[in-house]
Amino acid sequence: MTATSSLTARPVLAARARLGECPVWDPDRRRLYWVDIYNHRVHEFDPDTKADRWFDTGEVVSALVLARHNRLLLALRNRLAYLHLDSGVVEPLQELEFTLRGTRFNDGKCDPQGRFWIGTMSEQPGQAVLYRYDTDGALHVMETGLTTSNGLGWSPDGASFYLTDSEVREIYVYRFDARTGAISDRRVLINFSGEAAVPDGMTIDRRGHIWTALWDGWSIVHSDPNGQPIERIRLPVPRATSLAFGGPKLTDLYITTASVALSQTEIQRAFQAGDLFCIAGAGEGVPAAAFGAQ
């Protein structure tokens, strides 16, 4: 039995997002960026003032990473694009044609070398793919046979890569070659098949500990580098989606959540569903890598 933590997740923004996802802390602007997938919004949250502004992308937006020149790199439904923060202009970069109905991009993150890793989710089991988008515009298939490619991360020493397949309730770990960007020797690190909750987004802290958002789990789980659970932190909402360390010292853990597909009864029980939460002093994170920056 995983110990219940004494840490408290407090609401910091009443966003009421349909599907909040992919929080990323920008240390230069001291802002938290995150997406509301089905409302087609990229949010910019200022923890100091509690102000939140958003950009309308005009379509599903599933993931974002920091980029140079006051931009964010976005994964939309089936294409990659830059969002220019000064103007709000969405600049298309590359489009893919997904042959299977219901397939779209899902979670994404930059590796420490500044390459963008982005997976898909499919309505057909085993038909999702993990891609790596390099700074020269080349797009590489890195893994196949997935169903819902989700939470990504790298160990602080750069030797390991983590990938979540939510549909099968497993988190994998691979050997990672930082120079070439290759992954190999996949094995199951954490299996959640024994519970109803589904692993969603993740973040890795400076110690190499793994923090996983649990969809329909009313919680997040904190595990050691070997995948052994340390503690479970309760939330007042059922659907945690992703998480990221932020704040001046990267010690504040921000958590995005979802309200999509909850019944009216469930919403009444969890009226803060879709809001942004924060756990102060949860640990110490690793700065998020920006696209193209090393």
Distance CA 287, CA 244 (A): 10
At residue 257, does pLDDT exceed 60?
Answer: yes
At residue 88, does pLDDT exceed 60?
Answer: yes
One-letter amino acid for residue 14 of the chain: A
At residue 180, does pLDDT exceed 70?
Answer: yes
Q: What is the pLDDT of residue 6?
A: 86
In 158-251 the beta strands, taken as DSSP E runs, fall at 160-165, 170-177, 182-191, 198-204, 210-215, 219-223, 229-234, 240-246
β-pair type (3-4, 229-234): parallel
Whether residue 223 contacts residue 230, with contact meaning beta carbons closer than 8 Å, is answered with: yes
At residue 294, does pLDDT exceed 80?
Answer: no
Q: What is the pLDDT of residue 4?
A: 81
3-state secondary structure of 284: coil
Q: CB within 8 A of 183, min separation 6: which ones?
A: 142, 143, 161, 174, 175, 176, 177
Q: How many domains does the chain have?
A: 1
Write down the number of H helices and E strands in the chain: 1, 25
Residue 172 placed within a domain: yes
Residue 238 placed within a domain: yes
pLDDT classification of 223: cutoffs 50, 70, 90: very high
Q: What percent of the chain has pLDDT over 90?
A: 97
Tally of CA atoms within 13 A in the half-sphere of 60 that contains its CB: 13
- Summarised one tens digit per residue, pLDDT across range 29-82 is 999 999 999 999 999 999 999 999 999 999 999 999 999 999 999 999 999 999
Of 54, 8, 60, give the one whose Cα is nearest residue 255: 8
Residue 286 placed within a domain: no
The CATH number of whichever domain residue 144 belongs to comes to 2.120.10.30
Distance CA 238, CA 214 (A): 8
At residue 227, does pLDDT exceed 90?
Answer: yes
pLDDT classification of 2: cutoffs 50, 70, 90: confident
Distances (CA, A) of 53 to 44, 86, 93, 281: 5, 12, 24, 26
> From the centroid of its chain, how far is CA 72?
15
One-letter amino acid for residue 103 of the chain: T
Residue 293 placed within a domain: no
Distance CA 271, CA 195 (A): 24
111 included as an active-site residue: no
Residue 288 placed within a domain: no
Q: What mean pLDDT do residues 247-251 have?
A: 98
Q: What is the pLDDT of residue 293?
A: 77
Residue 136 placed within a domain: yes
Domain that holds residue 205: 3-280
Q: What is the pLDDT of residue 35?
A: 98
Residue 95 placed within a domain: yes
Q: What is the pLDDT of residue 1?
A: 57
Whether residue 69 contacts residue 54, with contact meaning beta carbons closer than 8 Å, is answered with: no
Q: What is the pLDDT of residue 289?
A: 97
> From the centroid of its chain, how far is CA 11?
19
The phi-psi region of residue 133 (left if phi > 0; otherwise alpha if psi is between -120 and 50; otherwise beta) is beta
Which one-letter DSSP state was computed for residue 159? S
**Averaged pLDDT score across all residues of the chain:** 97
Whether residue 227 contacts residue 210, with contact meaning beta carbons closer than 8 Å, is answered with: yes
Residue 35 placed within a domain: yes
Q: Which residue has the tokens 């994964």?
A: 75
At residue 188, does pLDDT exceed 80?
Answer: yes
Pick the catalytic residue: 200, 205, 252, 275? Answer: 200
Size of the chain, expressed as the number of residues it contains:
294
Whether residue 142 contacts residue 98, with contact meaning beta carbons closer than 8 Å, is answered with: no
Q: What is the pLDDT of residue 5?
A: 83
